[in-house]
Amino acid sequence: MMISFNLNGKQASADVAPDTPLLWVLRDSLGMTGTKFGCGKALCGACTVHLNGNAVRSCQIPIGSVSGQKVTTIEGLAATSPIKKAWIALDVPQCGYCQPGQMMQASALLAQNKKPSDADIDAWMSGNICRCGTYPRIRAAIKDAAKMA
């Protein structure tokens, strides 16, 4: 079944079963490999993308439910984004695997809360796991990005 949606500001479509997870359509059908597979159960946040501006776990979203909607992946997050600038400036990633999901979650936070406190950041980011433990740098980068926005 052909399913069409807006991907990173452009029309995209995939001929897949409507129950196929968005993650696999992004990675396997559309080449958006920045979005990572982590747990497959929406627990780790590695697969976080934006659906109509909201952070969602793409491993649990059936592609059929995104027909006609807006999906943004890490590839669609502007290079001039305060989040990307702060991540680079503070050398946030260690292994880097979780970082696309971390950045997508953080950018959704800043879209809703321009000046988050440490508690706001910790609560918002709590569902995104970083095995390397770069949480202090993630929090610092979000605070710096908030100052740039």
Instruction: Please report, for the domain that includes residue 86, its CATH number.
Output: 1.10.150.120
Segments forming the whole domain that contains residue 129: 82-148
- Report the CATH number that the domain containing residue 27 is assigned in CATH: 3.10.20.30
The predicted model scores a pTM of 0.96
pLDDT score of 65 more than 90: yes
Among 47, 76, 105, identify where a domain stops. 76
d(CA 109, CA 22): 22
pLDDT, residue 149, reads 77
Q: What is the 3-state secondary structure (H, E, C) of 22-34?
A: HHHHHHHHCCCCC
pLDDT, residue 109, reads 98
Q: How far is CA 26 from each of CA 29, 46, 73, 93, 128, rounded to the nearest angstrom?
A: 6, 13, 9, 23, 20
d(CA 69, CA 121): 27
**Same domain, yes or no: 10 and 44:** yes
Residue 19: count of CB within 10 angstroms of its CB:
9
State percent of the chain over pLDDT 70. 100
**Which among 20, 4, 6, 98 is positioned nearest to 50, based on CA atoms?**
6
pLDDT score of 79 more than 90: no
Q: Into how many domains does the chain fold? A: 2
More confident residue, 61 or 79: 61
